[in-house]
Amino acid sequence: MTEANENYVDGEWVPSETGETAAVYDPANPSEVVGEYQQSSAADAADAVAAAAAAKDEWADTPGPERGAILREAGKILDDRKEELTDLLVAEEGKARPEAAGEVQRAIDIFYYFATKASDLGGTVKASSGRNTNLYTREKPVGVAALITPWNYPIAIPAWKLAPALAAGNAVVIKPASIAPGVVVEIAKALGEAGLPDGVFNVVTGPGSEVGSEFIESDGTDAVSFTGSSHVGEMVYDQATDAGKRVQTEMGGKNPTLIAASADPAEAAEIVATGGFGTTGQSCTACSRALVHEDVYDAFVDALVAEAESIDVGPGDDHEMGPQVSADELESTLEYIDIAQSEGATLAAGGGTPDGDAVADGHFVEPTVFTDVDHDMRIAQEEVFGPVVAVVKVSDFEEGLELANDVDYGLSASIVTDDHTEANRFVDEVESGVVKVNEKTTGLELHVPFGGVKRSSSETWREQGDEGLEFYTIEQTVYDNY
């Protein structure tokens, strides 16, 4: 019997008042239990908020360099445990090992980055229009930040929310995704060992309807940051704003790559395959639409099919592409594959579950390519969240740009072209928070802002970089007449 992981509240590991736990299973081998976690209630969440509220003032008064030193030490502890964190991430979420190791390293880098930024927080000095007056600003923490994080990047996304919140002097409560909460529990252990005061960081696992709702609606929280699906995120936004909270949501995408007539088809296919099939397509920035100029369409399709068919699918420990995270996610992807075929798209590669003993029991799906896709088909309009790429033929750059924008989402977009004018026009006119030229849609630098437009984001505050700190601070202006 696996020993149940407990909640982390006020510096203590405590069970839920419900007395209930839930198992997390290995998506590559769903009969294997990876861990047991608390099925917490609203009362458990309220206890965590109370602990954070009690701790926030002392943490806010802690000098920035001292806060940074604790973040830096936590990053070092995570770095020392990188291998075991990678093992846990592969087991709980199913990522291929190189992808899991890269994500763990990303979280470590984020802690180091914001450890340094904690020393930069201060404000600005301005010239006063009056005599004998000092005029300046101060950056003050918001108070208690509530974080609700997804399963697809279960350590990187919590890190890029948590580290700036702590660096800015906020106390934090977090509800990690129930499918893969283990790495957030490990972050809590690292921060505790690094010397973070009790109550400043609190972890409560369990259903969003209980834990998440309490975090959002509680009088004790001041800001809510959410990453997840657009459907849930829009409900979170409404709930948080109705409760008078500062709110930040980053949500889904239907990300295009426009393949221009000047593109090398093989190079473009590699870019699309990496962006569309990496992380099993379970990324909000994954490429799910290839908008391909008719002059290179056939050669591109041949190259993309070859890329898809070359991918080694199996358990993440020793294969190139791992499973989908759950039976529900696999079922959803297979349903979209059926819908695409029923609407008239041509299945050019994949489309089913792979054969073999290694993949017999897990939530595996083949990298899938559809051609002859009309842009009004559901496969070209709705987020699939699996390794499925819809290829749409376009007659020219203008049509490709128009279709790139003809969706409800606007998270990431890319263009593959040798024409600098086309590249610049795409950057200027595409409706997307992240734009890339001759690169895959996935992959983000940690020191620049990240966020989307339209249904991909609340379009309030961006995450990461300097902008990532802005959400967690309030500017105070001081007039000091001496």
Domain assignment present for 443: no
- The C-alpha atoms of residue 78 and residue 250 are separated, in whole angstroms, by 26
Q: Greatest CA span in the chain, whole angstroms? A: 81
Residues 118 and 177 in one domain: yes
Residues 229 and 300 in one domain: no
pLDDT digits (tens, 9 = 90+) for 97-148: 999 999 999 999 999 999 999 999 989 999 999 999 999 999 999 999 999 9
Q: Residues of the chain with pLDDT > 90: what percent?
A: 98
Residues 198 and 109 in one domain: yes
Active site residue 284: yes
Specify the CATH number for the domain of residue 38: 3.40.605.10
Query: Is residue 323 over pLDDT 90?
Result: yes
pLDDT digits (tens, 9 = 90+) for 361-402: 999 999 999 999 999 999 999 999 999 999 999 999 999 999
Domain assignment present for 444: no
Residues 300 and 286 in one domain: yes
Specify the CATH number for the domain of residue 281: 3.40.309.10
Residues 326 and 419 in one domain: yes
Q: Which of 203, 260, 284, 311 is catalytic?
A: 284
Distances in whole angstroms, Cα of residue 305 to Cα of each of 229, 271, 372, 385: 29, 13, 14, 19
Domain assignment present for 442: no
Residue 53: both structure tokens together? 């509220």
Domain assignment present for 448: no
Residues 317 and 382 in one domain: yes
pLDDT given for residue 263 in this prediction: 98
Query: Is residue 2 over pLDDT 90?
Result: no
Neighbouring residues of 97: CB distance < 8 A, sequence distance ≥ 6? 86, 90, 316, 317, 318
Residues 128 and 210 in one domain: yes
Residues 176 and 140 in one domain: yes
Domain count, the chain: 2
Residues 87 and 134 in one domain: yes
Residues 286 and 222 in one domain: no
pLDDT given for residue 3 in this prediction: 81
Domain assignment present for 261: yes
Instruction: Quote the mean pLDDT of the chain.
Output: 97
pLDDT digits (tens, 9 = 90+) for 161-205: 999 999 999 999 999 999 999 999 999 999 999 999 999 999 999
Question: Cβ atoms within 10 A of the Cβ of 409, count?
Answer: 27
- pTM for this predicted structure: 0.96
| Region 280-302 average pLDDT | 98
Residues 304 and 424 in one domain: yes
Domain assignment present for 452: no
The b/e string for 333-344 (b: 16+ C-beta within 10 A; e otherwise) is: bbebbeebeeee
Query: Is residue 1 over pLDDT 60?
Result: no
Question: Taking CA 265 as the corner, what is the angle to CA 262 and CA 267, rounded to the nearest 5 degrees?
Answer: 100
**Structural domain of residue 37, as residue ranges?**
4-251+457-481
pLDDT given for residue 423 in this prediction: 98
- The C-alpha atoms of residue 227 and residue 252 are separated, in whole angstroms, by 9
- Cα 308 to chain centroid distance, Å, stands at 24
Residue 467: both structure tokens together? 């902008």
Domain assignment present for 64: yes
Query: Is residue 75 over pLDDT 70?
Result: yes
Q: What is the CA radius of gyration of the chain?
A: 23
Residues 219 and 298 in one domain: no
pLDDT digits (tens, 9 = 90+) for 421-458: 999 999 999 999 999 999 999 999 999 999 999 999 99
pLDDT given for residue 327 in this prediction: 97
The pLDDT confidence band at residue 314, using thresholds 50, 70 and 90, is very high
Domain assignment present for 447: no
pLDDT digits (tens, 9 = 90+) for 325-359: 999 999 999 999 999 999 999 999 999 999 999 99
Query: Is residue 412 over pLDDT 60?
Result: yes
- Cα 296 to chain centroid distance, Å, stands at 33
Distances in whole angstroms, Cα of residue 31 to Cα of each of 13, 23, 34, 363: 28, 11, 10, 11
Question: Cβ atoms within 10 A of the Cβ of 453, count?
Answer: 15
Query: Nearest CA to 449 among 430, 433, 432?
Result: 433
Q: What is the DSSP string of 33-74?
A: EEEEEE---HHHHHHHHHHHHHHHHHHHHS-HHHHHHHHHHH
Q: What is the DSSP string of 77-122?
A: HHHHTHHHHHHHHHHHH---HHHHHHHHHHHHHHHHHHHHHTTT--
Backbone angles phi, psi at 320, to 5 degrees: -75, -35
pLDDT given for residue 287 in this prediction: 98
Question: Could you give the 3-state DSSP secondary structure of residue 243?
Answer: coil
Residue 62: both structure tokens together? 């802690």
Q: Which residues is 475 bridged to in the sheet?
A: 139
Backbone angles phi, psi at 323, to 5 degrees: -80, 170
